[in-house]
Chain A
Amino acid sequence: MRRRHRDVSAVRDVSFTIAPGEMVGFLGANGAGKTTTLKMLCGLIYPSSGRVVIAGYQPQQRHPDFLRRITLVMGQKQQLLWDLPPMDSLRVNAAVYGISDRDANRRIAELSDLLELGEELTRPVRKLSLGQRMKAELLAALLHQPEVLFLDEPTLGLDVNAQAKVRQFLADYNRRTGATVLLTSHYMADITALCPRVLLIHQGHLFHDGPLDRLASRLAPERHVRLELDEPVVAEAFAGLGRLDSLHDREVNLRVKPQELTAVVAQLLDRFAVRDLEVNDPPIDQLIGDLFRQGRL
């Protein structure tokens, strides 16, 4: 018996540059290569080919000066000591990063203020709620004032309220410190709220790099037009007026290219007795959800 090996490239031909202070969202289905890319950027995984430079350093060398400038927060993993209050873990981190007690206390006070953490810091981590724990994780990850934040699903499993708070904190933090943030999330709300720029990794390739709305128009180049007519009409009547999606009695759904939209709507109003007309963009999270579910473009 022999084992057969197959080399699988998790990520191929992914190239991008991020300016200091940018907040960039990182999208992709499960297994698309998001986390692999993130880990390469942190220096946890050696890239088999290609080059990564972060703040002038090659991450995989994990130079201490590089490590002091970055941080990684993972929604599924925690660095806080389970049986002890977060404060103990914070003191360990302060010592490891060589932060003096005075500075550490000042930063803990500042960050816990922003994060709305108080006596939670002195309660054992195992007794904290998921939301409180995540906030304490963020505090632990930011104690050394990193310039580059890698956040892998930082709001995973949190309730809507806690998600919004974490989001608000990250926006504030970015504004106050000018830190660069690269964020992955399954929740589109995180991305839409925080990231003007979005990278979409699909099957290991970089599919999109730019604003979120441009991604929407790439994923769904057509707009949806819904009509309600006074009388039923046959399908043939819509020839040349976009693509007919569905026709139920007097309700019609069409897909129309954006550049033809005004002309088509004018003709529709002209030719038919229209009771109601609606033009819609499919919501972005639905589009991306479809993409992830289908696993293809």
Chain B
Amino acid sequence: MGRYFKSLRRFWGTALATQLEYQVNVLIELVAVGLSLLGSLFMLSLFFGPGRELGGWSWSEALIVQGFYTVLDGMASTWLRPNLSSIVTHVREGTLDFILLKPIDSQFWLSLRTFSPAGLPEIGLGLMLVAWGGHQAGAPLSPLGIVIVLVMLLVGGLILYSLWFLIAATSIWFVKTWNATEVLRAVLASGRYPVTAYPAPLRMLFTLVIPVAFLTTVPAEVVLGRANAPMLFLGIGLAAGFFAAARSFWWFALRYYTSASS
């Protein structure tokens, strides 16, 4: 275990050092993050003007959903996108060979090798949105509630990661045509709005098939004290299931890895 922690420290140390080689890039990314958040708040204000409701959610309640969306999007920018989008490059260029020959879990390496600090402010902004929206909506806030919120955030993150990793792992086969990175962004985007704002068939889809509901709506319901226990357990179960699926799929996919030729 110590070896993994030390490796992770070195991974992120070198990732930071690499970013600092291109400081202007970091600055540009930060500006882009700020602008995209402003844009999504504007979109949201069109749907939920103060005093209006959508799917039973008020403006301030919907802000909590938007806040969780922002947190997850920040996590995606910080960890998921930089790491998982490079899987396809590793497969295409054959540098996956080097990773597979290291005495360390290849999924661990591929999932956490780098991180992009430009996504961190987004996570902070998202949390602030959640706090502010919760305050506005008069959410009851207990220490236990905060713990459950964090657990559900973890559940959402794990589901998103597992889905993303599953798709990225298919690049073992579809290396030439497939750039998986942006697919889940689109799915995640549907999590900007409370899942009850969608028609019933989509609601089913977003709860059970692609569990977007657990990414943003359920954590928001926890903040508002509306969540029920079965839903929470379903979320935890789904996260564990998706993670296990991603892991075994990776082992399965590696059997078909032929390595780019010299």
Contacts and interface: CB of A to CB of B under 8 A. Distances in A.
B97 A74 contact: yes
A152 B10 contact: no
Given A35-B262, A64-B103, A92-B7, A79 B21 contact: no
A10 B11 CA distance: 36
Interface string A92-119: 1111111000000000000000000000
A77 interface: yes
Nearest to B105: A64
Interface in A171-223: none
Interface in A227-273: none
A270 B94 CA distance: 63
A88 B104 contact: no
Contact of B102 (A45, A65, A88, A96): A96
Nearest to A69: B103
Interface string B86-111: 00000001110110111110000100
A62 B97 CA distance: 12
B103 A68 contact: yes
B14 A81 contact: yes
B95 A77 contact: yes
A106 B198 CA distance: 62
Contact of B9 (A44, A95, A124): A95
B80 to A, nearest CB: 20
Contact of B255 (A46, A74, A98): A46
A143 to B, nearest CB: 11
Contacts of B3: 95-96, 98
Contacts of B104: 64, 96
Nearest to B262: A35
A72 interface: yes
Given A79-B95, A96-B102, A96-B103, A84 B262 contact: no
Contact of A77 (B7, B13, B17, B94): B94
A281 interface: no
A44 B97 CA distance: 7
Contacts of B7: 92, 95-96
A62 B100 CA distance: 8
A67 interface: yes
B259 interface: yes
Tell me which of B18, B93, B97, B103 has the highest count of chain A C-beta atoms within 10 A of its own C-beta.
B103
A60 B97 CA distance: 12
A97 B95 CA distance: 18
A3 to B, nearest CB: 14
B258 interface: yes
Interface string A54-87: 0000000010110110111011111101011000
B103 A92 contact: no
B261 interface: yes
Contacts of A62: 100-101
Given A35-B262, A91-B10, A84 B17 contact: yes
A42 interface: yes
Given A44-B257, A96-B3, A124-B21, A72 B10 contact: no
Interface of A: 35, 39, 42-46, 62, 64-65, 67-68, 70-72, 74-79, 81, 83-84, 88-89, 91-98, 124, 152-153
Nearest 7 interchain pairs by C-beta: A64-B103, A79-B98, A67-B103, A95-B7, A98-B3, A95-B10, A95-B6
